[in-house]
Amino acid sequence: MERKLTVNDGINAVYGGCILGGGGGGIIKEGIEKSKKAFEYGGPSLISIDSLEPEDIVVCVSLVGAPSAKKQFLNDEQLIKTVEKMQKELDKPVKAIMTNENGAATTINGWLQSAALGLPFLDAPSNGRAHPTGSMGAMNLSEKKDYKSIQSFAGGKNEYEVNGIVSGSLTNSSDTIRDLSVRAGGLVAVCRNPVNIRHVSENAAIGGITQAIELGEVLFEKSEGMKRINNVVDYLHGNLISKGKVSNFSLKNKGGFDTGTLHVDNVELTFWNEYMTIEKDGKRISTFPDLIMTFDLKSGLPIVSAEITESKEIAVISVPKTQLLLGSTMYNQNLLKTIEPIINKTICEV
């Protein structure tokens, strides 16, 4: 299957992706701007995995950094350069581009590069929701001990500008990219981890881009507020957890991540870029990779963790992981355990 994506698809993908981002995955303004730029290059074509052969090579593009960082900078040339640099490292042609996750900015990661370079965009994000670490978007390549990660990167402006290639173990390469994002002012574009379609079909969230577009359509079926939020909850088979004013909001930017907590009434949320836990009256009711998301109560539009403010009126929803399109990494306990010391909460075996 192949179809040419439209400007309206881009808008829906940004808003639907923002919801599936679960608090991370970039902000809506950034996603809309990126979408507009992609269509200045003519827009990408979306293909399903059955459009390619099992041994065809695809590359994953992503943005790495903290959404709240104030000095972040990326331009079209830097985004395109990462894919071109990667192709020079490979002895087989890149047949398609895929994104690492769903999010307001990340669902359309690669749309611009795809359109500019004439490469199709794959309807299979590495993960159908957003996640904090690079390894969580690497389709369980972390379990392949002999796998050598190749990651090209670019970002920053003036004295913060960086670009190049990193290769090595998946963990070391991903950690290095995260460090470089800090040096670049908070954000870098990355093209990484070439794999064949066989591996994608076994590990990615197949159909995740289409789902984000459809979710955006569902959001805008209603005009405002709780009608929109309820529409989203019904579509995702989730639950409305709480609504009210934000209190006790805290956010810290450390090591290229946003971490913090917030309360809405008797409900506490923790986040590490993405929302990680919900506890009500001290009792756990939702845990990553369950989808936890916040919405502006008046407009009904999704709002990410980096844009929450004290006293803002929001609604909190959750969707069980069993109802989501997820990549294989979301069931990898070794990767999920890395969350625990960051938020000081139990994640595994909850």
| pLDDT, tens digit, 9 for 90 and up, residues 251-267 | 988 776 889 999 999 99
Say whether both 196 and 276 belong to one domain.
Answer: no
Q: How far is CA 175 from CA 18, 132, 144, 189, 255, in A?
A: 25, 12, 17, 14, 10
pTM for this predicted structure: 0.92
**8 within some domain:** yes
Q: Please, are residues 294 and 277 in contact by the beta-carbon 8 Å criterion?
A: no
Q: How many domains does the chain have?
A: 2
Element (H, E) at 260: strand 257-264
Where b means 16+ CB within 10 Å and e means fewer, 92-122 reads: eebbbbbbbbbbbbbbbbbbbbbbbbebbbb
Measure the CA–CA gap between 8 and 26, rounded to whole angstroms: 19
Ramachandran angles phi, psi of 213, nearest 5°: -65, -45
Measure the CA–CA gap between 121 and 96, rounded to whole angstroms: 6
Q: Please, are residues 131 and 326 in contact by the beta-carbon 8 Å criterion?
A: no
> In 3D, which of 189, 181, 185, 190 has the Cα closest to residue 65?
181
Residue 132, classed as helix, strand or coil, is coil
The DSSP symbol for 1 reads -
Residue 105, classed as helix, strand or coil, is coil
Say whether both 248 and 125 belong to one domain.
Answer: no
**350 within some domain:** no
Say whether both 242 and 149 belong to one domain.
Answer: no
| pLDDT, tens digit, 9 for 90 and up, residues 300-321 | 999 999 999 999 999 999 999 9
Measure the CA–CA gap between 242 and 247, rounded to whole angstroms: 13
Tokens of 159: 């004295």
Print pLDDT tens along the chain (350 aa): 899 999 999 999 999 999 999 999 989 998 999 999 999 999 999 999 999 999 999 999 988 876 566 788 989 999 999 999 999 999 999 999 999 999 999 999 999 999 999 999 999 999 999 999 888 988 999 888 888 999 999 999 999 999 999 999 988 998 899 899 989 998 899 999 999 999 999 999 999 999 999 999 999 999 989 999 999 999 999 999 999 999 999 998 877 688 999 999 999 999 999 999 999 999 999 999 999 999 999 999 999 999 999 999 999 999 999 999 999 999 999 999 999 999 999 999 75
Burial class (CB in 10 A: 0-12, 13-18, 19+), 49: buried
Angle between helices 7-21 and 208-220 (to 10 degrees): 100
Domain that holds residue 261: 238-343
**228 within some domain:** no
Where b means 16+ CB within 10 Å and e means fewer, 171-192 reads: eebbbbbbebbbebbbbbbbbb
Say whether both 279 and 194 belong to one domain.
Answer: no
Say whether both 204 and 242 belong to one domain.
Answer: no
**26 within some domain:** yes
Domain finish residue from 208, 227, 261: 208
- Listed in sequence order, the residues at least 6 apart from 324 whose beta carbon sits closer than 8 Å to its beta carbon are 20, 128, 129, 236, 289, 291
The DSSP symbol for 136 reads G
What CATH number is associated with residue 112? 3.40.1610.10
